[in-house]
Amino acid sequence: MSGITGNVLAGIGIGLAVAAPIGPMGILCIQRTLEGGIRAGLATGSGAATVHLFYGAVVVFGLSLITDATSIYAPAFKLVGAVLLFWFARRILRRKISLEVRRSMAHCLRAYRDAVLFGLANPITMLLLLASTTGMPLSGGRWTALPFSLGIFIGSMGWWLVLSGAVCALRQRLDATLLRRTNQGAALVLAAFGCLVFVQGVQGLPGFGAEGRALALTKSGALLPR
């Protein structure tokens, strides 16, 4: 097996592993598919896969400035992510229920944009990719690791295709009442994730929680070696 092929296959595995767990992005993809059909679901998945591609490239090429900023300002990113989750939940609750699929290009572009914004504001994505790729031998050096980043996108996109297709097939069996309840459930789950992420963000702020107090002491020099 050539180095390029091995890197692509490794990236596909990482992309699947990062995308497959059902979290806020998965819930958002499911809701968008129910509302706008498979194209809206794939647009949401494309946004998530784009973020995975970007963060994967950052990790592989060792762009320490971005990775350090993501780690240092993780509490702020979490607070922004929580606000976005609350915003998505509110939008879902306020939308009118219709069995007619929204097929406009503008709707798909908004779905892609929302997924990219939320993905970039979610530091967990970066941390998952960092943990998954640490110590992984990539053939051919740093620049030939480009196929690895492409593989991450392919693996992630493959998962969103499967998820959107399955949900789209299920949608045909839903009536307006079930669709409304599904939307309400999705909004509640997103809001619950938002509460969890908000609490984690607050605990990470200087002076709040063990992590925040340790960060504050480190900045003040109290924990520096003497």
Closest to 159 (Cα-Cα) out of 25, 6, 66: 25
**Residue 89's pLDDT band (cuts 50, 70, 90):** confident
Position 127 scores a pLDDT of 72
Distance CA 146, CA 196 (A): 35
Asked if pLDDT for residue 139 goes beyond 60, the answer is no
pLDDT in tens, 37-52: 899 999 999 999 999 9
Position 226 scores a pLDDT of 42
The residue with tokens 């915003």 is: 87
Contact 20, 161 (CB under 8 A): no
Distance CA 134, CA 67 (A): 13
* Between 140 and 85, the higher pLDDT residue: 85
User: Which H/E stretch holds residue 136?
Assistant: none
Q: Note the maximum CA span of the chain.
A: 68
* Between 190 and 14, the higher pLDDT residue: 14
User: Residue 95: which residues within 8 A CB-CB, separation 6 or more?
Assistant: 35, 183
Distance CA 177, CA 97 (A): 9
Asked if pLDDT for residue 36 goes beyond 60, the answer is yes
**Residue 65's pLDDT band (cuts 50, 70, 90):** low
Angle at the Cα of 45 from the Cα atoms of 40 and 47, rounded to 5 degrees:
100
Position 223 scores a pLDDT of 38
What the block records as the tokens of 133 is: 């790729």
Share of the chain above pLDDT 90, in %: 16
Distance CA 144, CA 226 (A): 43
Asked if pLDDT for residue 156 goes beyond 90, the answer is yes
**Residue 144's pLDDT band (cuts 50, 70, 90):** low
User: Residue 115: which residues within 8 A CB-CB, separation 6 or more?
Assistant: 25, 28, 29, 43, 44, 45, 46, 47, 48, 51
